[in-house]
């Protein structure tokens, strides 16, 4: 099995879980922040929806510039989150399907202007940023939901609100 196929399987599995979390985002609270230094709920949710496609796009070139996030986009409605996720997953899927093992092992350089931030095999970048980074933010979003008294879905097992192992 190709490395890209392994990542694709995980992406597909985790996309279903991410969808369940994004479905719970309350549109009436998109501007809410747990702290003044935090992203708003709308910013975090849209970031989560778009990470896979955005990161896969970065990884599709030998040298990628870090995107500027000063004016990070925010969801204008909760209804845009699932279509954004679907588009992002489709983009990531298309890119990953085109990568053979040699491409996955090739070095990817991540730059901030002229400064190299990272030089890493493409597979490692996709694992660390497209997937692990995505999970990190999804965990943050589950805390936002809890703080807003929104039932938290099961992610890897039961939550206080949902148990997939019982009836």
List the structure tokens of 21: 């979390």
Query: Average pLDDT over the chain, rounded to whole?
Result: 95
Helix axes 81-97, 3-22, angle to 10 degrees: 180
Condensed to tens digits (0 to 9), the pLDDT of residues 50-105 reads 999 999 999 999 999 887 767 889 999 999 999 999 999 999 999 999 999 999 99
Residue 78 is predicted with a pLDDT of: 98
Residue 24 is predicted with a pLDDT of: 98
Give the helix/strand (H/E) hosting 49: helix 41-59
The CATH fold assigned to 3-147 is 1.20.120
Q: What is the rounded distance in angstroms from the CA atom of residue 100 to the CA atom of residue 97?
A: 8
Buried b (16+ CB within 10 A) or exposed e, 10-30: ebeebbeebbebbebbeeebb
**Cα 117 to chain center, whole Å?**
20
Phi-psi category of 113—alpha, beta or left, where left has phi over 0 and alpha has psi -120 to 50?
left
Q: Is the predicted pLDDT of residue 117 greater than 80, yes or no?
A: yes
Q: What is the rounded distance in angstroms from the CA atom of residue 137 to the CA atom of residue 123?
A: 20
Q: How far does the chain reach from its first CA to its final CA, in angstroms?
A: 36
CB–CB of 151/30 below 8 Å?
A: no
Residue 19 is predicted with a pLDDT of: 98
pTM of the model: 0.95
Please report which confidence band the pLDDT of residue 167 belongs to, taking 50, 70 and 90 as the band edges: low
Each domain of the chain, given as residue ranges in start order, spans 3-147
């Amino acid at each position: 099995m190709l490395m890209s196929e392994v990542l694709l399987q995980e992406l597909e599995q985790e996309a279903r879980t991410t969808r369940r979390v994004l479905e719970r985002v309350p549109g009436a609270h998109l501007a809410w922040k747990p702290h003044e230094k935090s992203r708003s709920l709308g910013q975090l949710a849209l970031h989560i929806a778009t990470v896979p496609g955005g990161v896969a796009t970065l990884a599709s070139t030998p040298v990628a510039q870090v995107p500027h996030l000063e004016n990070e986009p925010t969801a204008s409605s909760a209804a845009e989150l699932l279509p954004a996720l679907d588009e992002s997953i489709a983009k990531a899927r298309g890119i990953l399907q085109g990568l053979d093992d040699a491409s996955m092992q090739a070095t990817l350089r991540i730059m901030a202007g002229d400064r190299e931030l990272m030089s890493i095999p493409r597979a490692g970048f996709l694992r660390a940023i497209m997937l692990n980074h995505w999970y990190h933010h999804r965990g943050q979003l589950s805390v936002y939901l809890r703080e807003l008294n929104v039932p938290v879905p099961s992610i890897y097992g039961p939550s206080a609100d949902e148990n997939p192992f019982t009836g």
